[in-house]
């Protein structure tokens, strides 16, 4: 079968590492009882040993050995449960932006301390401009924002319930956006760094 061919091809294999039910033999169980699922995991570009992960009910976690070991960053200093999205500065792995509910936070010392940058409605995605680490793109239920970090200034680029943003891998002037509209999603593209977006209704599944 195709599956057997893939297994024998030497490709990497996946192994489940949890979370698991703490008592699989209990009369009544739920999926991963007592554990939390993750919303986001990001790896640093400047230091690939460093990863951060945001949980639904367990805050922000960090690994300094490519994910082999993890430690929580919110045990004592910041009582936050949910971390929905995060972005690591591509020049400095100690600088990380993350969202919890309606707040945008930043750490500049690898998680030792934090500061509140902005209060917005529920933040769904944070993406740094690949050419300028002073510019963040923030998606939420109402708009797509361009955030100038040094000036602490927000500019609206697009209205709507913005779910996700991605840059073209080789052309940073091209931005792709997913927006929810009623019971459907829209695929939008900008070719001028977010100044204008076109809605693409055909040519994709």
Number of C-beta neighbours around residue 61 at 10 A? 19
Q: What is the per-residue pLDDT for 30?
A: 54
pLDDT reading at 195 higher than 80:
yes
Is the Cβ–Cβ distance between 179 and 197 less than 8 Å?
A: no
73, 111 in Cβ contact below 8 A?
A: yes
Output phi, psi for 59, to 5 deg.
Answer: 75, -150
Question: Which distant-in-sequence residues (6+ apart) come within 8 Å of 38 by Cβ?
Answer: 53, 54, 55, 56
Q: Look up residue 195 and give its two tokens.
A: 């100044």
What is the reported pLDDT for 189? 95
Please tell me the predicted confidence (pLDDT) of residue 63. Answer: 93
Count of alpha carbons within 13 angstroms of residue 161, beta-carbon side = 8
- pLDDT digit string, tens, across residues 12-62: 888 776 555 555 555 555 555 555 578 999 999 999 999 999 988 788 999
Distance CA 105, CA 96 (A): 8
Can you tell me the distance from the alpha carbon of 107 to that of 97, in angstroms, rounded to the nearest whole number? 7
Written as one string, the DSSP assignment of 34-55 is: T---EEEEEE-SS-TT-EEEEE
């Amino acid at each position: 079968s195709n599956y057997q061919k893939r297994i024998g091809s030497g490709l990497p294999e996946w192994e489940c590492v949890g979370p698991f039910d703490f008592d699989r033999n209990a009369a009544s169980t739920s999926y991963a009882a007592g554990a939390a699922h993750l919303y986001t995991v990001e790896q640093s570009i400047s230091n690939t040993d460093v990863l951060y992960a945001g949980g639904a009910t367990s805050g922000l976690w960090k690994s300094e050995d490519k994910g082999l070991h993890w430690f929580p960053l919110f045990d004592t200093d910041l009582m936050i449960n949910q971390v929905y999205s995060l972005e690591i500065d591509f020049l400095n792995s100690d600088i990380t932006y993350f969202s919890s509910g309606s707040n945008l936070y930043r750490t500049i010392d690898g998680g030792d301390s934090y500061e509140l940058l902005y209060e917005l409605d529920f933040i769904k995605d944070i993406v740094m401009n690949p050419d300028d680490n002073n510019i963040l793109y923030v998606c939420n239920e109402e708009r797509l924002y361009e955030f100038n970090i040094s000036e602490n200034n927000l500019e609206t680029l697009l209205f709507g319930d913005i779910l996700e943003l991605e840059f073209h891998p080789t052309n940073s002037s091209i931005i792709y956006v997913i927006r929810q509209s009623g019971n459907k999603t829209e695929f939008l593209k900008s070719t001028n760094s977010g100044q204008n977006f076109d809605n693409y209704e055909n040519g994709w599944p």
